[in-house]
Amino acid sequence: MTLVSILVMNGPNLSRLGRREPEIYGSLTLDDINRGLAGAFPEVSFEFFQSEYEGALLEKLFEVEDRGGCSGVVLNAGALTHYSIALRDAISAVTMPVVEVHLSNVHKREAFRRTSVISEVCAGVIGGFGADSYRLGVQALLGRLGG
């Protein structure tokens, strides 16, 4: 079995899932989502990372890249999606494919959420399917690898 390694990275406020606006983001916690991924894809070696800080997300990307990289990254950048040029540049700077995911359908919400400064440098974008957005992100990466 080839070892597929995927970094699942979450940005600001996603630590609050389960308690944060459940009518928008659902009732699962981030741990529930991460456990669900590990259970659904036993063949994948996952690393899970969340931070409220922009720089910590950049550092994690570079740390993984410098370690030799991983098969891909599933990234919910939260609000950083809409304005972080630093995150966009970091995604451009690494060789790993990054899939942008969102729990909510950002196009159905406030106008400012319709802009993503990271989509252009991501392999693809998935949103609106709650926790399934993450699963679809993993599946998309596996598909790229021919799995």
Q: Computed over its alpha carbons, how large is the radius of gyration of the chain?
A: 14
CB count, 10 Å around CB of 67? 10
Find the binder of ligand DQA among 34, 50, 71, 76 (CB under 6 A): 76
d(CA 47, CA 64) in angstroms, rounded, equals 10
Would you count residue 102 as binding ligand DQA (CB under 6 A)?
yes
Find the binder of ligand DQA among 27, 45, 63, 79 (CB under 6 A): 79
58/103 with CB nearer ligand DQA: 103
- β-pair partners for 8: 48, 74
d(CA 138, CA 133) in angstroms, rounded, equals 9
Place of tokens 């606006």: 21
d(CA 17, CA 5) in angstroms, rounded, equals 24
Find the binder of ligand DQA among 32, 46, 59, 113 (CB under 6 A): 113
Find the binder of ligand DQA among 7, 33, 103, 126 (CB under 6 A): 103
9/106 with CB nearer ligand DQA: 106
Would you count residue 130 as binding ligand DQA (CB under 6 A)?
no
Per annotation, catalytic residue among 82, 102, 107, 134: 102
Per annotation, catalytic residue among 25, 53, 83, 107: 25
21, amino acid identity: E
